[in-house]
Amino acid sequence: MTAGRSRRLPRWLTVLVPLMCVVGCGSPAPPHRVVSVWAMGREGEVIAQLLPEFTKLHPDIEVRIQQLPWTAAHQKLLTAFAGEATPDVCQLGNTWIPEFVALKALEPLDQSLARSTAVQASDYFPGIWDTNIIGGTLYGVPWYIDTRLLFYRRDLLAQAGFAEPPRTWEEWSRMLAAVKSLVGPERYGVLLPLNEFDTLLVLAIQQPEPLLREDGRYGNFRSAGFRRALAFYREMFQRRWAPPVDSTQISNVWNELGRGYFSFYISGPWNIGEFTRRLPPEQQGTWMTAPMPGPDGPGASIAGGASLVIFRRSRHKADAWLLLEFLSSAQIQQRFYQLTGDLPPRRSTWRAPELAGNLYARAFREQLERVKPQPKVPEWERIVTDMRLVAERVVHGDLSVEEGATDLDRDVDGMLQKRRWLLARGATP
């Protein structure tokens, strides 16, 4: 009996040995390639849901995501740059790219692109692609796009006698006048919040003249085109087609459009989702989107949105590019659109049924063929902010259009002084 017992393995061993095998032999070797990613806001939340497929394709690459709130992102990125703690991959608003290129913080991507089959420049909307090219070099791959166009009340426009949205400024003016006389003194035609520069920027970017001249050395706001845009902007307030308010005074734009406080609103793609969600079902048939009207025919709009960039200090650039390719693939972009409502930058993604069948997205599809990048100088954000302040004074009647344009050029020339000094020294800012 004792002999028989000793020949058998003790029972605890029969449990322990396979267990050790599971723990020790079963777990894969820890991934030794790590790619760190910073993403902002809603995109930062969603990116984690897309990654399991990437891990399936590249099991040896570990992706570490850090979410940043949009309000703190710019500050945090600059601090990270100063402290040499930038991530490998980052989501970057495309108007920030010139600034980070000036800091020499971003990795040029031309070579990776030339070798890539997944990312095809020709499939992207050209205006959006262009925002990532600074001085002939590519620094980012568009991730999603953002532009501005018209949200409007179809029913009120029909009551005022118009079946179609405007194509030109002149048609738009006639509609605004008709809507204004329809709704009376307490309500308006269009909402142009005085604390936002977007609408004036769209009107200005539709003009043939560039907003800065001599390679971004001087402002070009005294050009006939900008003065025409500023005059039209002022006219919309002077004729009381637009209320002289800023967006903090409109507690709920969606309700106000529903109530008909204004009939036109210039906004971006995220508001498709908001209007669908926030307006009651019986009002869903009353609103629609339309491309921006231009000075003489369908007009351009701004090429906004965010790109994916690789930082120069990254030590995992090849892996970072793999992640960029993965996030840019048509299939992942479709999932990304479903999760966020962010519009994809590739034409091929737009053929997907969810997008092709979305009535409200159609105007965006049309507008995207006519988007123009903003001037690519690091000072640009400050310049448009000053443009807004001057426009506010013009609307208020403190300055004429001529004076406003002259003041703006003087301010902007001052802001670009250091850039001129750098260019004169032969440096590339």
Partner 1 sequence: MKTAPAAWAFAAPALLIITVFFFVPVLAALAVSLTDFDLYALADIRNLRFVGLHNYWRLLHTPDFWRALTNTAYFVVVGVPLSLAASLATALLVNSRLAYLAGLFRTALFAPVVTTLVAVAVVWRYLLHTRYGLINYALAHLGIHPIDWLGDPHWALPAIILFAVWKNFGYNMVIFLAALQSIPADLYEAARLDGASLWQEFGRITLPMLRPTLLLVSILTVAGYFQLFAEPYVMTQGGPLQSTVSVLYFMYEEGFKWWNLGSASAVAFLLFLIILAVTALQLRLARDAQAR
Q: Which range, of 30-38, 60-68, 102-110, 365-373, touches partner 1 by CB under 8 A?
A: 102-110
Tokens (6 digits) for 196 = 């936002």
Task: Output the smallest distance, CB 78 to partner 1, in A.
Answer: 7
Q: Which range, of 308-316, 328-336, 344-352, 391-399, touches partner 1 by CB under 8 A?
A: 391-399
Please say which residue, 71 or 120, places its beta carbon nearer to partner 1.
71
Q: Which range, of 171-179, 212-220, 247-255, 262-270, touches partner 1 by CB under 8 A?
A: 247-255
- The phi and psi torsions of 25 (rounded to 5 degrees) equal -85, -30
Contact status, residue 297 vs residue 171, Cβ threshold 8 Å: no
Which of 46, 182, 352, 389 forms a contact with partner 1 (CB under 8 A)? 389
Which of 92, 194, 257, 322 forms a contact with partner 1 (CB under 8 A)? 194
Contacts by residues 381-386 (CB-CB < 8 Å, ≥ 24 positions apart): 381/95, 381/99, 382/415, 383/211, 383/212, 383/219, 383/412, 383/415, 384/197, 384/201, 385/197, 386/411, 386/412, 386/415
End-to-end CA distance of the chain: 89
Contact status: 423 vs partner 1 (CB under 8 A): no
Please say which residue, 319 or 392, places its beta carbon nearer to partner 1.
392
Q: Which range, of 264-272, 297-305, 332-340, 388-396, touches partner 1 by CB under 8 A?
A: 388-396
Please say which residue, 33 or 418, places its beta carbon nearer to partner 1.
418
Please say which residue, 42 or 393, places its beta carbon nearer to partner 1.
393
Which of 43, 88, 99, 146 forms a contact with partner 1 (CB under 8 A)? 99
- Helix (H) or strand (E) holding 224, with range, is helix 224-238
Contact status: 103 vs partner 1 (CB under 8 A): yes
Tokens (6 digits) for 427 = 């440096």
Which of 80, 102, 141, 202 forms a contact with partner 1 (CB under 8 A)? 102
Which of 71, 111, 181, 249 forms a contact with partner 1 (CB under 8 A)? 249
Contact status: 6 vs partner 1 (CB under 8 A): no
Which of 42, 222, 312, 393 forms a contact with partner 1 (CB under 8 A)? 393
372 closest CA partner among 154, 246, 208: 208
Contact status, residue 415 vs residue 379, Cβ threshold 8 Å: yes
Considering only residues 215 through 244, tell me which ones interact with partner 1, judged by CB under 8 A: 244
- CA–CA separation, 333 and 335 (whole Å): 5
Considering only residues 49 through 68, tell me which ones interact with partner 1, judged by CB under 8 A: none
Strands (E), 147-256: 149-153, 190-191, 212-213, 218-219
Task: Output the smallest distance, CB 306 to partner 1, in A.
Answer: 20
Residue 420, judged by CB atoms within 10 A of its CB (0-12, 13-18, 19+), counts as middle
Please say which residue, 103 or 339, places its beta carbon nearer to partner 1.
103
Distances in Å between the Cα of 44 and the Cα atoms of 51, 68, 90 are: 12, 7, 10
Please say which residue, 186 or 282, places its beta carbon nearer to partner 1.
186
Residue 185, judged by CB atoms within 10 A of its CB (0-12, 13-18, 19+), counts as exposed
Contact status: 82 vs partner 1 (CB under 8 A): yes
Count residues contacting partner 1 (CB under 8 A)?
A: 29
Residues in the chain: 429
Q: Which range, of 107-115, 223-231, 311-319, 393-401, touches partner 1 by CB under 8 A?
A: 393-401
Considering only residues 296 through 355, tell me which ones interact with partner 1, judged by CB under 8 A: none
Please say which residue, 181 or 249, places its beta carbon nearer to partner 1.
249
Which of 288, 392, 404, 405 forms a contact with partner 1 (CB under 8 A)? 392
Strands (E), 175-233: 190-191, 212-213, 218-219
Helix runs in 105-193, H state only:
110-115, 126-130, 154-159, 169-183
Contact status, residue 107 vs residue 73, Cβ threshold 8 Å: no
Question: β-pairing, 133-134 with 137-138?
Answer: antiparallel
Which of 396, 400, 402, 410 forms a contact with partner 1 (CB under 8 A)? 396
Contacts of 203 (CB under 8 A, 6+ apart): 229, 232, 233
Q: Which range, of 4-12, 101-109, 290-298, 350-358, touches partner 1 by CB under 8 A?
A: 101-109
Q: In sequence order, what are the beta bridge partners of 309?
A: 90
Contact status: 365 vs partner 1 (CB under 8 A): no
Residues near partner 1 (CB under 8 A) are 75, 78, 81-82, 99, 102-105, 194-195, 244-246, 248-249, 251, 378, 381-382, 389, 392-393, 396, 398, 418, 422, 427, 429
